[in-house]
Amino acid sequence: MLRLICGVDEAGRGPLAGPVYAAAVILDPERRINGLADSKVLSAERREVLAERIKERAIAWAVASASVEEIDRINIFHASMLAMRRAVQALNVRPEEAWIDGKACPKDLGCAARAFVDGDARHKPISAASILAKTARDAEMTALHEQHPRYGFDKHKGYATSEHLEALGRAGPCAIHRRSFQAVGLFFQEDLFPVDWAGMTEAVRLRTFRRHLKALRVFEES
């Protein structure tokens, strides 16, 4: 008898901007998908190809997210758990067990759950979920780039790259930046920045940001 195992993973815990995404996937053992792996080790082109195959061949799949506002209100860990719970609950087939990437399982999934460290590299259902979550989030960040073109979201997807940090220092944060993250939150600390930081000259704002950022020791993420 077929046991319905649901793989679950998130994408976007680390970035300074944008929502966090999660996906849930129940693979069909009769419809094999070659090449499933942790989304982080796959090229963007390969992820897109595999995402389409997963959607075509899986018994069930779902993608969900938690907003920037939710991230700032309940913190990124709980927002990630929320996105994963939403993804599992959105499946049109109820799994018997959910396999979660990481050390913790979301509550109230409606099924049993197990957490696996490095699960996205070790278990195919979680690998599939990581690919769907990553491609969905990347697509949203590319779309959000059209609304906020100064930051380069289409390239770095909100991660703290040197390009992103430079743009953040020059322009200040926009509506999709996570204020609860230190590099963004700097702008809202009155002892570091004036309330009207938007009225500062770009050069002064960037210089001030760089100085405070250096104190935080924020490094580029990939």
Q: How far are the Cα atoms of 58, 102, 173 from residue 137, in angstroms, in the given order? A: 20, 19, 20
- 202-216 and 162-171 helices cross at what angle (nearest 10)? 130
Q: Is residue 159 part of a domain?
A: yes
pLDDT for res 215: 81
Residue 1: the pLDDT is 61
Domain check: are 87 and 191 in the same one?
no
In total, how many domains does the chain have?
A: 2
Residue 213 to residue 203: CA distance in whole angstroms: 15
Which residues are within 8 A (CB) of 76 and not within 5 positions of it... i.e. 6 or more apart? 13, 20, 178, 180, 181
User: At residue 185, does pLDDT exceed 70?
Assistant: yes
DSSP run (H or E) holding 177: none
Residue 133 lies in a domain: yes
Tell me what pLDDT residue 214 has.
85
User: Is 140 a domain residue?
Assistant: yes
Q: Is 28 in the same domain as 103?
A: yes
CATH code for the domain of 26: 3.30.420.10
217 versus 12: the higher-pLDDT residue is 12
Contact (Cβ atoms closer than 8 angstroms) between residue 97 and residue 6: yes
And the tokens for 160?
């703290």
Structural domain that includes position 41: 5-147
State the pLDDT at residue 222.
32
- Is pTM beyond 0.85 here? yes
Do 139 and 160 belong to one domain? no
Q: Tell me: pLDDT of 218 over 60.
A: no
Q: Are residues 131 and 69 in the same domain?
A: yes
pLDDT for the residue 219: 44
Asked if residues 63 and 128 have their Cβ atoms less than 8 Å apart, the reply is no
Extract the tokens encoding 83.
């996105």
pLDDT for the residue 57: 98
Same domain, 97 and 130: yes
Q: Do 179 and 76 fall within a single domain? A: no
One domain for residues 81 and 175: no
Q: pLDDT digit string (tens) for 20-58? A: 999 999 999 999 999 999 899 999 999 999 999 999 999
Cα separation values, 163 from 48, 106, 153, 166, 170, Å: 25, 34, 10, 5, 11
Say whether both 59 and 129 belong to one domain: yes
